[in-house]
């Protein structure tokens, strides 16, 4: 491309946002909600979240998909530790569902 064919000006966002579109999602309420629900049955907590965030709306479903970024729903027990992935000591989510009781629990320590 010749130098004279290049654009004369460029917007501030253009180099940073591909195709000029970006998702602007506020996940802070979804981060805070599980913290207030620790100790409650996961099925009840999840049903309350599902009642607010409907699967029919693409945006609400997308936010609901992020729930697994904060809660390990199916951790596994192995040698006295609860593990989610083979070879890792802990999972990365700050909360998990206890497989014995079904209660939402806070992760004691996260790997850095």
**pLDDT number for residue 104:** 95
The predicted pLDDT at position 94 comes to: 87
Other C-beta atoms lying within 10 Å of the C-beta of residue 48: 13
* pLDDT value at residue 105: 92
What pLDDT, on the 0 to 100 scale, is given for residue 33? 92
Provide block-wise average pLDDT over 10 residues at a time, the chain (112 residues). 79 62 73 93 93 83 85 70 51 84 84 49
Q: What residues have CB less than 8 Å from 39, skipping those under 6 apart?
A: 103, 104, 105
Which pLDDT value is given to residue 102? 93
């Amino acid at each position: 491309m010749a130098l004279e064919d290049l654009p004369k000006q460029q917007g501030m966002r253009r180099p940073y946002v591909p195709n000029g579109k970006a998702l602007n999602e506020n996940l802070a309420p979804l981060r805070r909600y599980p913290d207030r629900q620790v100790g409650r049955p996961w099925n009840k907590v999840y049903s309350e979240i599902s009642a607010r965030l409907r699967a029919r709306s693409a945006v609400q479903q997308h936010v609901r998909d992020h729930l697994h970024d904060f809660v390990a729903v199916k951790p596994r027990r192995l040698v006295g530790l609860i593990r989610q992935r083979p070879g890792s000591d802990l999972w990365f989510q700050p909360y998990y569902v206890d497989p014995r009781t079904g209660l939402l629990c806070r992760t004691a320590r996260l790997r850095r």
